[in-house]
């Protein structure tokens, strides 16, 4: 078994009260030992699996992220209907210009120690992009079409009891199958589960908390099982591992146990206090323990009420949410918990409390982290129903697969307390007409059947059509994508009594790039293919953040928003999808490297109510603009501030209601540039000076500066440290216009994984150890090995003082 890594292993011999021993389930994660070959069709290896020349890879794996970028890969002649286009034009970079299109094979081997005829073997995939066909010992055991879904097969009849078993997976990604970078390969985990035939079914546990009071919570646990003459014992432990309740039951209805368990003085789950319990369920035949599973859950209540909105644990609150695509920037779609945790840590600092998985089913790791860190979650399912957006999209499978895809989504994730609603679709063309209404109801009914405790929404962009057809009226939660001018009409005509901003803003900006003159602009383009970080540019269908802020603050029936997007993502380079090179989005509040843009601080000034925000823009290195108007903005949760340029006051600005921008930003529009120092002094409501911030004109770049998000890594071969690399002058001032080429090397018990500078036009490959700075910064990813020890990252650049940073893996 040297070829496989056990990162999750439950193999325990338990002693029960009667003194009888029994072996439980073994869960093996197939990480190492994989062979990979791209460009080979399904029939190529049907009879000859000579993989000696195949590439050795670990899973999760995204074969396309290594590039190179090429406009010909995903060039399309199309009119993007969702953007209101009527005429087809050449589009490039729409799916990231990365080589995800094509067929590939993955192959591995596994053994089954102590396997016998009383065992059952489950093969679980948490995501495979896409259309996987699965073979065990040369026999096809099944296939699944939707690349974002979790699925499993019972392979008991296909495995050999002794010796090694072969596993082969064929994948096929068609062109014109996505509107963003979908990734490619076995990009999420693969597991082998061996258990007794008398056992808990896969995803067979469903935990709800239908009654909650300060003194007592009712925890209802439904457990589907296989076998005869079974009994179940469930023990609930608190976050400290202390047992707080237990229940034994031998009454089974069909194949399901139902237990109602009282938990005294419950701790409630919330974003501020994400308290988690665990329920351990044991299945017995007589006194023999046959199976055991542990499920983590939270005790919390949700409610959606007309004219009142959304409440969690009885407290009315609004969603301060962002939409996230599933790629992780420079490492692509291959799931990595450290990268996800970093994203959520950045969002938490911004004051974000909710995530929408756009427009696909979330990873289990993302949900686990949201449970732990305190994020409410809108779990989305599809971007297409029966009517297509792209030629080879999900519409090909909708009629045959939609129900089973939803069933797997719900059953695999419904115990996560973070999930507070489901979405059955996003901007589907089916919003028009009676057939679309029927499909919306059919999907919503499936969600309700599988999980009666959570409501269902759809992200609607064709609001007029849904008002006319009844589509929007039948939804549990009417979700509006943009269309701020239709909120009042929709609220008046929809019966639910509230509106959700299921997708908002789509403001565009490039980190550290500023354009003049500073004016509001729709679909503005520039020769350098960048957008302005003054945060006044948006798309033809969208709007500025401040327009949503007004609705969120003034309308109690608007229950929150999910901003497009929390981070830049690969693909959809609007407004430059007709230009090259441009291969990733500009929508993010943070860039593709995870570095905050100025807009981050605009949202933070509203959403983070625990910490103060005082942020100045633009930078103050404008050689050649001396004497020219260079407006200064301040994003802050203080109501007023005074600006100084080289000690001279530019006056006090106060937030006011003259425009949405004046209400949420402090703006000095007539400042003339002169090198030196700009300083802002903020005042409290009594006029007292309470905070200040300043920016200096930097001299020429002198040395490299390194800052790691964490310096201690886990020696598991997959943990990551994200090191922000910047350049400063001799005085330590950041150099915001630096673009030097840097080189990276890692020594010790770590490896170089990737780098990213956040530039949507950069064609440098992430996995090569060299990259140019963009707006004075980039990020380097250092990965641990399976050995503990010291790690060092060294960064060099011509004419710059070299920098090193020590890390450690344990």
Enzyme catalytic residues = 427, 503
Q: Are 352 and 607 in contact (CB under 8 A)?
A: yes
| Intra-chain end-to-end CA distance of the chain, in Å | 24
Contacting residues for 121 by C-beta, under 8 A, at least 6 apart: 112, 115, 154, 155, 156, 159, 192, 193, 194
Close Cβ partners of 501 (under 8 Å, ≥ 6 residues apart): 479, 480, 548, 551, 552, 558, 560, 561, 562
CA distance 445 to 429: 20
Q: Is 600 helix (H, G, I), strand (E, B) or coil?
A: helix
Distance CA 808, CA 790 (A): 5
Instruction: Give yes or no for a contact between 371 and 296, defined as CB atoms under 8 angstroms apart.
Output: yes
Instruction: Report the C-alpha gap between 805 and 723 in whole angstroms.
Output: 9
Counting beta carbons within 10 angstroms of the beta carbon of residue 452, is it exposed (0 to 12), middle (13 to 18) or buried (19 or more)? exposed
Of the candidates 754, 796, 663, 617, which has an alpha carbon nearest to the alpha carbon of residue 328? Answer: 754
Per DSSP, the three-state class of 274 is coil
Which residues, at least 6 apart from 291, have a Cβ–Cβ distance to it below 8 Å? Answer: 24, 25, 195, 196, 198, 199, 200, 282, 283
d(CA 287, CA 309): 50
Reduce the DSSP state of residue 348 to 3 states and report it: helix
| b/e sequence 224-246, b meaning 16+ C-beta within 10 Å | bbbbeebbbbbbbbbeeeeebbe
564's tokens: 């497009």
Find all residues with CB under 8 Å of 293, minimum gap 6, and list them.
25, 200, 205, 280, 281
**Residue 338 near residue 457, CB atoms below 8 Å:** no
Residue 395 has what DSSP assignment?
Answer: G
Helix, strand, coil percent values for the chain (each to nearest 5)? 15, 40, 45
Distance CA 141, CA 158 (A): 8
CB-count burial class (<10 Å; 0-12, 13-18, 19+) for 502:
buried
Closest CA to 651 of 662, 638, 640, 642: 642
CA pair distance 437, 666, nearest whole angstrom: 45
Helices 598-607 and 337-350 meet at what angle, rounded to 10?
A: 60
Instruction: Give dist(CA 669, CA 633) in Å, integer.
Output: 8
Could you tell me which of 597, 592, 590 has the C-alpha nearest to residue 571?
Answer: 592
Q: Which two tokens stand for residue 578?
A: 């007709």
Select from 102, 103, 107, 111 the least CA-distant residue to 138. 107
CB atoms within 10 A of CB 700: 10
């Amino acid at each position: 078994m040297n070829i496989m890594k056990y990162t999750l292993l439950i193999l325990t011999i338990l002693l029960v009260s009667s003194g009888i021993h029994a072996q439980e389930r073994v869960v093996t994660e197939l990480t190492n030992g994989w062979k990979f070959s791209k460009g080979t069709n399904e029939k190529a290896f049907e009879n000859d699996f000579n993989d000696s020349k195949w590439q050795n890879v670990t899973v999760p794996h995204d074969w396309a992220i290594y590039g190179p970028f090429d406009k010909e890969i995903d060039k399309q002649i199309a009119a993007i209907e969702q953007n209101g286009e009527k005429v087809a034009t050449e589009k490039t970079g729409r799916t990231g210009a990365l080589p995800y299109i094509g067929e590939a094979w993955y192959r591995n081997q596994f053994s089954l120690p102590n396997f016998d005829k009383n065992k059952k073997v489950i093969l679980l995939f948490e995501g495979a992009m896409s259309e996987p066909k699965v073979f065990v010992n040369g026999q096809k055991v099944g296939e699944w079409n939707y690349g974002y879904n979790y699925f499993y097969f019972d392979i008991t009849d296909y495995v050999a009891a002794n010796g090694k078993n072969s596993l082969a997976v064929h994948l096929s990604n068609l062109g014109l199958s996505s509107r963003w970078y979908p990734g490619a390969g076995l990009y999420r985990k693969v597991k082998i589960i061996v258990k007794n035939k008398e056992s808990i079914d896969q995803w067979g546990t469903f935990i709800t908390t239908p009654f909650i009071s300060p003194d007592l919570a009712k925890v209802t646990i439904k457990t589907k099982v296989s076998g005869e003459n079974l009994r179940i014992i469930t023990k609930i432990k608190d976050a400290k591992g202390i047992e707080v309740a237990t229940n034994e039951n031998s009454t089974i209805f069909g194949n399901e146990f139902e237990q109602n368990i009282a938990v005294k003085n419950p701790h409630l789950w919330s974003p501020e206090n994400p308290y988690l319990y665990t329920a351990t369920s044991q299945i017995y035949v007589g006194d023999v323990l046959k199976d055991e599973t542990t499920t983590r859950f939270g005790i919390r209540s949700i409610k959606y009420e007309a004219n009142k909105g959304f409440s969690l644990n009885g407290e009315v609150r609004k969603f301060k949410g962002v939409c996230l695509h599933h790629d992780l920037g420079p490492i692509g779609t291959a799931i990595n918990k450290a990268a996800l945790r970093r994203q959520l840590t950045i969002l938490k600092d911004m004051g974000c409390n909710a995530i929408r998985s756009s427009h696909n089913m979330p990873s289990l790791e993302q949900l686990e982290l949201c449970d732990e860190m305190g994020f409410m979650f809108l779990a989305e399912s599809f971007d297409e129903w029966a009517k297509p957006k792209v030629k080879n999209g999900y519409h090909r499978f909708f009629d045959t697969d939609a129900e089973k895809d939803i069933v797997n989504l719900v059953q695999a994730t419904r115990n996560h307390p973070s999930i507070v609603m489901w979405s059955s679709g996003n901007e589907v063309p089916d919003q028009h007409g009676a057939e679309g209404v029927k499909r919306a109801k059919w999907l919503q009914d499936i969600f309700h059947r599988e999980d009666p405790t959570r409501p269902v929404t759809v992200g609607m962009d064709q609001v007029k059509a849904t008002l006319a057809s009844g589509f929007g009226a039948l939804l549990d939660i009417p979700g509006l994508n943009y269309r701020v001018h239709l909120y009042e009409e929709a609220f008046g005509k929809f019966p639910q009594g509230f509106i959700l901003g299921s997708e908002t803003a789509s403001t565009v900006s490039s980190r550290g790039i500023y354009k003049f003159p500073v004016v509001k602009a729709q679909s503005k383009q520039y020769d350098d293919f960048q957008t302005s970080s003054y945060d006044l540019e948006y798309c033809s269908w969208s709007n500025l953040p401040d327009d949503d802020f007004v609705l969120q603050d003034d309308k109690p029936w608007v229950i929150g928003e999910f901003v497009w997007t929390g981070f830049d993502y690969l693909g959809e380079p609007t407004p430059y999808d007709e230009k090259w090179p441009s291969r990733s989005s500009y929508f993010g509040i943070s860039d593709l490297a995870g570095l905050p843009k100025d807009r981050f601080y605009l949202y933070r000034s509203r959403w983070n109510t625990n910490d103060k925000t005082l942020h100045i823009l633009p930078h103050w290195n404008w050689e050649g603009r001396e004497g020219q108007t260079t407006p200064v903005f301040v994003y802050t949760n203080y109501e007023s501030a005074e600006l100084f340029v080289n000690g001279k006051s530019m006056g006090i600005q106060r937030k006011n209601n003259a425009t949405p921008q004046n209400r949420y930003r402090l703006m000095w529009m007539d400042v003339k540039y002169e090198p030196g120092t700009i300083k802002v002094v903020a005042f409290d409501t009594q006029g007292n000076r309470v905070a200040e911030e300043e920016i200096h004109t930097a001299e020429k770049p002198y040395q490299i500066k390194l800052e790691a998000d964490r310096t201690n890594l886990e020696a598991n071969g997959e943990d990551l440290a994200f090191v922000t690399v910047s350049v400063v002058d001799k005085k330590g001032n950041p150099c915001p216009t630096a673009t030097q080429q840097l080189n990276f090397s890692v020594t010790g018990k770590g490896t170089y994984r990737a780098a990213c500078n956040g530039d949507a036009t950069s064609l440098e490959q992430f996995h090569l150890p060299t990259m140019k700075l963009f707006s004075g910064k980039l990020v380097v990813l250092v990965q641990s090995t399976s050995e503990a020890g010291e790690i060092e990252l060294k960064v060099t650049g011509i004419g710059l003082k070299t920098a090193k940073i020590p890390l450690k893996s344990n």
